[in-house]
Amino acid sequence: MASVSVSPHDLLYSGETVTLQCDISDYTDWTYWWYRNKQLLSPGSPSKTITTLSDQVSQYQCQGRRTDRPQSSQRSVSLHISVTGIKPKAKVSSDKKDILIGDSMTLTCTVESSGWRFYWYRPRQDSEPVATTSGSSYTLSQVSVSDGGQYRCRAGRGDPVYYTQYSETVHIQVSGESNSFNIIIS
- The reply to whether 132 and 163 lie within a common domain is yes
- The reply to whether 56 and 95 lie within a common domain is no
Determine the structural domain holding residue 128 and report its residue range.
Answer: 91-175
| Partners of 120 in the β-ladder | 131, 153
Q: Is residue 113 part of a domain?
A: yes
- The reply to whether 44 and 74 lie within a common domain is yes
Mark the ranges of the chain whose per-residue pLDDT is less than 70.
54-56, 125-126, 177-186
What is the per-residue pLDDT for 170? 94
Radius of gyration of the chain (CA): 24
Number of domains observed in the structure of the chain: 2
- The reply to whether 122 and 170 lie within a common domain is yes
- Per the CB < 8 A criterion, the answer to whether 60 and 32 are in contact is no
What is the per-residue pLDDT for 21? 94
pTM score over 0.75: yes
Q: Is residue 181 part of a domain?
A: no
- The reply to whether 131 and 150 lie within a common domain is yes
Q: Which of 11, 74, 62, 72 is nearest to 36 (CA)?
A: 62
What is the per-residue pLDDT for 125? 61
What is the per-residue pLDDT for 179? 52
What is the per-residue pLDDT for 29? 85
What are the phi and psi torsion angles at 81 (to 5°)? -115, 125
